[in-house]
Amino acid sequence: MRAVDQHERGAGHRGTALGQGASDMAETVFSCSIARHAGHVDLEVIGTMDRSSAGQFRNQLLTLAKEHPSSIAIHMDDLSVMDSSCVAVLIEVWRFAEEHGIALTVTSPAASIRQVFDVTESGRLLTLRH
């Protein structure tokens, strides 16, 4: 069991995704749970990660990265949807992390989320762990 120095629950993001008509409007929900311990940060992402929540996700990750932890692990077990805007955020944060010596990993994603990471044969861009 690890000691958690600080545990935060990020404010959820609620947005509207437009369907074919006004009556097809659906609500999207996104939130983060953050745990810090011994220079490492664990970020658990919950809900739907799409264009409407990508900005908040970006701000959260960059704020954490600017604290210069030795590593950031992003857990996506409870993420139901992820689109290309989230991948763009991860790439931007990965570049910042690389420049500052921070290990950035995405851990335990669901099979549907793993498909989004199948962008290179080597998987070299981001470390993906099951």
Residue of higher predicted confidence among 56 and 125: 56
Check residue 44 and report its DSSP letter. E
Amino acid letter for position 89: V
Q: Is the pLDDT assigned to residue 71 strictly greater than 50? A: yes
Instruction: Give the predicted TM-score (pTM) of the model.
Output: 0.69
Q: Locate all alpha helices (DSSP H) within 1-130, ordered by sequence.
A: 51-65, 84-99, 111-114
Check residue 23 and report its DSSP letter. G
Domain ranges of the chain: 6-129
Per-residue model confidence as pLDDT tens digits over 76-97: 888 888 888 888 899 899 999 9
Distance CA 4, CA 79 (A): 22
Per-residue model confidence as pLDDT tens digits over 6-49: 333 344 444 434 344 443 444 557 788 999 999 999 999 988 88
Place of tokens 């664990």: 42
User: What's the pLDDT at 58?
Assistant: 94
The answer to whether residues 33 and 8 touch, using CB atoms and an 8 Å cutoff, is yes
Closest CA to 90 of 73, 77, 78: 73
User: What's the pLDDT at 22?
Assistant: 41
Q: What are phi and psi of 48, to 5 degrees?
A: -115, 125
Distance CA 47, CA 126 (A): 21
User: What's the pLDDT at 17?
Assistant: 40
User: What's the pLDDT at 124?
Assistant: 52
Among the four given CATH numbers 3.30.750.24, 3.20.20.100, 3.90.320.10, 3.40.50.1100, the one describing domain 6-129: 3.30.750.24
